[in-house]
Chain A
Amino acid sequence: GDSVTQMEGPVTLSEEAFLTINCTYTATGYPSLFWYVQYPGEGLQLLLKATKADDKGSNKGFEATYRKETTSFHLEKGSVQVSDSAVYFCALLTTSSGTYKYIFGTGTRLKVLA
């Protein structure tokens, strides 16, 4: 079945460091891909998305490119801040069975130190 695999955390970085969180997926058809973020004590919220191959999603300095050939959607940020400390979830929207189901990865916790 469809699935999402993302790198295990926690990831600990110093402020202004470069961030990459890897995400790969398995899906039939052409899923839409998402990154969600969960800040401490808050609900999940959309960070960015891409709906087709080679699309680049971006928001708040984060970017991810939909790579169909490698079935990947890695999250990157050039310079992280303490306020980016959160749990990041990669997700896909699959419609292969005629229904609309979102499948999430296990999450990667990011801790940014001042």
Chain B
Amino acid sequence: DTGVSQNPRHKITKRGQNVTFRCDPISEHNRLYWYRQTLGQGPEFLTYFQNEAQLEKSRLLSDRFSAERPKGSFSTLEIQRTEQGDSAMYLCASSSTEVSNTGELFFGEGSRLTVL
């Protein structure tokens, strides 16, 4: 168990460019979550998957944001036509639906996006 892995750890881009982040969850976890965190704030829910199905997406999420989990394993979060307001830490987390699971979310270390 290597934990939740996110790449890249830091991305600097110019306004208007597209960026993609990848998340590899803990291998046996079937739920995968994306959050956004800005300075001084708590994680803000973006979307989550159970296996390959995207079950909920925040109504606050612009249509420039899209997430996929094609085989129920890793996930990608793409932001198109980035804006300076997209600058934030993007967090991925995973959990298991096993009966014995405590409901704990396991977080990666995040991908920091800076839009110039």
A-side residues, CB < 8 A to B, are: 4, 32, 34, 36, 42-46, 49, 51, 89, 91, 93, 97, 99-107
Name A89's contact: one of B43, B50, B102 (CB within 8 Å).
B43
Inter-chain contact B48/A49, CB cutoff 8 Å? no
B77 contacts A by Cβ under 8 Å: no
Minimal beta-carbon separation of A90 from chain B (angstroms) = 8
B90 contacts A by Cβ under 8 Å: no
In the complex where A105-B42, A107-B42 touch, is A99 in contact with B103 (Cβ < 8 A)? no
- CB neighbours of A46 from chain B (8 A): 104-105
Give the residue among B40, B56, B95, B105 with the most A Cβ atoms within 10 A. B105
Give A46 to B3 CA distance when docked, in angstroms: 14
Q: Which residue of the partner chain A has the closest CB to B50?
A: A100
Inter-chain contact A100/B42, CB cutoff 8 Å? no
B-side residues, CB < 8 A to A, are: 4, 31, 33, 35, 40-45, 48, 50, 55-56, 91, 93, 95, 102-105, 107-110
Q: Which residue of the partner chain B has the closest CB to A4?
A: B42
Name B43's contact: one of A45, A49, A104 (CB within 8 Å).
A104
Inter-chain contact B103/A51, CB cutoff 8 Å? yes
Q: Which residue of the partner chain B has the closest CB to A106?
A: B42
Inter-chain contact A106/B40, CB cutoff 8 Å? yes
Give the residue among B31, B35, B43, B107 with the most A Cβ atoms within 10 A. B43
Inter-chain contact A101/B48, CB cutoff 8 Å? yes
Inter-chain contact A43/B107, CB cutoff 8 Å? yes
Inter-chain contact A102/B33, CB cutoff 8 Å? yes
Give A93 to B40 CA distance when docked, in angstroms: 22
Inter-chain contact A100/B31, CB cutoff 8 Å? yes
Inter-chain contact B103/A32, CB cutoff 8 Å? yes
- CB neighbours of A102 from chain B (8 A): 33, 43, 45, 93, 105
Inter-chain contact B110/A43, CB cutoff 8 Å? yes
In the complex where A44-B91, A49-B102, A107-B40 touch, is A101 in contact with B45 (Cβ < 8 A)? yes
In the complex where A44-B43, A105-B42 touch, is A99 in contact with B104 (Cβ < 8 A)? no
